[in-house]
Amino acid sequence: MRTTDGTGPTSSGVHPQAVRSLARSGLVSVAVVVAYFTLPMTVGSDAGALARLVVGLVVVGCLLTWQVREILRSPFPRARAVGALVVSVPLFLLVFATTYYLMGQAEPGHWSEPLSRLDALYFTMTVFATVGFGDITAVTADARAVVTGQMVSGLVLVGLIARVVVGAMQEGVRRRNLHDDQR
């Protein structure tokens, strides 16, 4: 059944509300990337960069916790789960890219070459994707410790997504189907 008032699925079976939810998540993700490249970043010390890293990871953790709750409550848990990933993964990566950029600005010797914002994001992506081309490398112990932290937390994030976010989506679908059956 096709509707035009946004209260039901279209003839393709896609609900307009689910599409709006995904579009919002995409826009948030784009806004976060634009902010990374355009907002000023003050260079401080390595300790300041590490403090920002910790705060950023706490924000990502809180965001994921909130998103899991919303997936469970949502009438469209699949769309909500995809939206959660569309926002959380780029934010997680940008937290590390920001840290690498600020560390490189505070002490250029941390890396095998000076890092621009794009270089820092590129390096973050090669670590997350476990590609490790070797063109940019962490040189100091501090930089290697942070990169090791990204490796471990990246594995945790992937496991969290696989277990918690997908599990919440499945539970949300089960609840929605149970609610639909009771009508």
**Its pTM surpasses 0.95:** no
Confidence (pLDDT) at 49: 85
For the chain, give the percent of residues with pLDDT over 90: 52
Confidence (pLDDT) at 11: 47
d(C-alpha 44, C-alpha 103), whole Å: 8
Q: Is the pLDDT of residue 2 over 80?
A: no
Ordered structural domains, the chain, with CATH: 16-182 (1.10.287.70)
Confidence (pLDDT) at 90: 96
d(C-alpha 159, C-alpha 156), whole Å: 5
Q: pLDDT of 113-130, one tens digit each?
A: 999 999 999 999 999 998
What residue type is 134 in one-letter code?
Answer: G
Confidence (pLDDT) at 53: 92
d(C-alpha 94, C-alpha 129), whole Å: 14
| Comparison of pLDDT for 74 and 98, the residue scoring more | 98
